[in-house]
Amino acid sequence: MQQEDLGGTSPALSGANLDSSNVTEAWTRIRGRLREEIGEIEYRTWMRQMTLAAIEGEEAVVQVPSRFLRDWLRSQYGDRLRALWQAENLGVRRVDIRVAPAPAPDGAAVDGEAMPRAVPEPARPAEARAADSRSADPRNDWAAPLDPRFTFDSFVVGKPNEFAYACARRVAEKPASPGFNPLFLYGGVGLGKTHLMHSIAWALREPGLDRSVAYMSAEKFMYRFIAALRSQSTMEFKESLRSVDVLMIDDLQFLIGKDNTQEEFFHTFNALVDAGKQIVVSADKSPSDLSGLEDRLRTRLGCGMVADIHATTYELRISILEAKAQAAGIPVPARVLEYLAHKITSNVRELEGALNRLIAHSGLFGRPVTLESCQEVLHDILRAHDRRVTIEEIQKRVAEHYNMRLADMSSARRARNVARPRQVAMYLAKQLTSRSLPEIGRKFGNRDHTTVMHAVAKVQELMQQDAGFAEDVELLRRMLET
């Protein structure tokens, strides 16, 4: 069989206690599946230059020739690569994408690519090595690794997330403070929950603090618990978890329906809190809305600090894009950032992914980022966000939601049960359409643009003060965008 990617067996592979021919065949199948899934053009643009460098325990090390390509593949295909490796059932549970050193002169050429016969571990910056040393905690060697990009310094703060950010900072500075244990962060997909979780963990692992921090997903917690049951090592599992100073569980909603795992988490929760240890949890909904969790667990989760992260505003999306572009060191015109902030409103992760894709394209092909190249490179993403919502549609949906007459959207009535839904509709019209304030005002009974401005500000204020109201508005937004 032609070894398309390995170019022979590297020393790292030969020492992995796996049959190198099986690894080679698995890697070939994985690349073949990716080619089928994304198409030949996309595959050749982004994935053709991947090489398999090593199998290190449960981790497959994939190398690419540039930092841009590494960042792009991590953000867009990291999860898919891991899933494909796991499907091969070779014991690989993680995939690390790294920048490869320059190929050796005697590298074999395969499919037009130079393949190094032996790929050494790439040199890493001192900052990355220091981050690795802080990430590794010998007392919790099975906890998930932390992403060095996710720190408080790199988190862009705006009105939708400033409360959650302040709570996370407080826990990082004074863990187990009264009223902040547990800290429960919740919000939609890609709004920054995981970023804040990692930021807390990095701050708590600063040298000299001597704190044991265990961060993992709820899914990993469950798998570790099941493995402990099978190996009859539940006592070791319990002792390992309950010896930490800080336990952080991401995506708690995964435990819904897993009664035995919920019970174990509940007992671990109680043991740690009673011992004065900090717990930080994230989920996609507030504790009271996580139907399927045991009542006693839901009550305990809500007894500390509950902080939600709202959907991003246009201003926050611009700030995030500007910060990411500056960190990448690639000039991105303001009109491109504004265009992306208007078009991609669903979540921060998708917004950053689009920008990473633009930057990678610019770096790989040596072309400047322009509005034209943005529309060309991101055509698939932009097409998915191209649905145009009308003000009339917004008015109709909001009126139905609040059980009011559609005619009252334009009437002079000022009763609270009419005025508040009208303000919500104005707010959504500002967020979801490109209409100007005067145009929106005219659609609401020829009201002045200052009335629309007041409505937008009022709704934003209420969303900050009332989590239930914020969820209501966010629900309406999602219904209109889908």
Binding-site residues, in ranges, read 190, 192-194
Phi, psi of 62 (to 5 degrees): -110, 135
Q: List b or e across 69-98, with b for residues whose CB sees 16 or more CB atoms inside 10 angstroms.
A: bbbbbbbbbeebbbebbeebebebebbbbb
Cβ contact 125:132 at 8 Å: no
Q: List b or e across 307-329, with b for residues whose CB sees 16 or more CB atoms inside 10 angstroms.
A: bbbbbbbeebbbbbbeebbeebe
Closest CA to 151 of 106, 183, 196, 107: 196
Beta bridge partners of 97: 62
DSSP string, 308-370: EEPPPPHHHHHHHHHHHHHHHT----HHHHHHHHHH--S-HHHHHHHHHHHHHHHHHHT----
Cβ contact 298:182 at 8 Å: no
Closest CA to 254 of 297, 292, 224: 292
Cα 456 to Cα 477: distance, rounded to the nearest angstrom = 14
Closest CA to 321 of 365, 277, 361, 353: 353
Cα 218 to Cα 206: distance, rounded to the nearest angstrom = 25
331-339: Cβ within 8 A, 24+ apart? 331/368, 331/369, 332/358, 332/359, 332/369, 333/369, 333/370, 333/371, 335/371, 336/369, 336/370, 336/371, 336/374, 339/371, 339/374
Beta bridge partners of 431: none
Binding site members for ATP: 190, 192-194
Cβ contact 391:402 at 8 Å: no
**CA 421, 425, 430: angle at the middle one, nearest 5?**
145
Beta bridge partners of 213: 246
Name, in order, each residue with C-beta under 8 angstroms of 379's C-beta and a sequence gap of 6 or more.
none
Alpha helices by DSSP H, 243-333: 259-274, 295-301, 314-328
42-47: Cβ within 8 A, 24+ apart? 45/364, 46/72, 46/73, 46/76, 46/77, 46/360, 47/73, 47/77
